Structure 1
């Protein structure tokens, strides 16, 4: 599915499919983190079962100011991680929303387009 950004000065998910996303037209196939501050970086987690609390802790430190919200895309289907893995974010009062990758991409685009401090963490294990 092709998507169009409302605010062209922010990074946007411009397309996605099974096992990949395009950020501002550039295709990525591995797990990644996208911030509304303009960063795209690999997320060193390959499978849902390999997620740790440190993976989520990293998300609090990828932006200058802590994000308001982390949108976690769990892959092609919705899967929830144990709350203990997200405890560090919750302690910092950073919201966490879990959804499948397609929904996470759409949600990130809306929030980033509104100027919100949001981090998108996509797990690409198919």
Structure 2
């Protein structure tokens, strides 16, 4: 059996994440960041999901997603209701999960060609 490596047709591939770091392409990131298939915003200034404000979503919303995936670290931790409402009022879905689950979800959706944006939170 011959195996062929298929490269995605987008610029930023998320190869995995956990509560301490993520691997984007061949770079290990240890600070909170935002990724979309063709954009990477490093040093996203969010270190605690529980204290997020609607303004913290600006970097994600600027990328015009149809769906936001929020990775909240080692455990799932929902942001304040006002943050969730910010997305829903704009007709943008938001899914909150651990970083590992968010990495898998992002990769599937990006591979399907969806307009997905993911934010990954790491403690400061």
Task: Give the TM bin, normalised by the shorter chain.
Answer: 0.7 to 0.9
Aligned to 1:119: 117
Q: Return 5+ residue gaps in structure 2 as ranges.
A: none
Aligned length: 118
> For residues 60 and 75 of structure 1, what CA distance do their matches in structure 2 show?
20
CA shift for structure 1 position 18: 3.6
CA shift for structure 1 position 34: 0.1
Structure 1 stretches of 4+ with a deviation exceeding 6 A read none
TM-score under structure 1 length normalisation: 0.84
CA shift for structure 1 position 50: 3.3
1:24-63 alignment runs, 5 A limit = 24-36=25-37, 38-42=38-42, 43-61=44-62, 63=63
CA shift for structure 1 position 13: 1.1
Tell me, yes or no, if the aligned pair for 2:32 and 2:46 is still in contact at 8 Å.
Answer: yes
Tell me, yes or no, if the aligned pair for 2:34 and 2:59 is still in contact at 8 Å.
Answer: no
1:74-93 alignment runs, 5 A limit = 74-93=72-91
> Is residue 110 from structure 1 mapped to residue 108 from structure 2 by the alignment?
yes
TM-score under structure 2 length normalisation: 0.85
Aligned to 2:16: 15
Which of the pair has more CA radius of gyration? Answer: 2
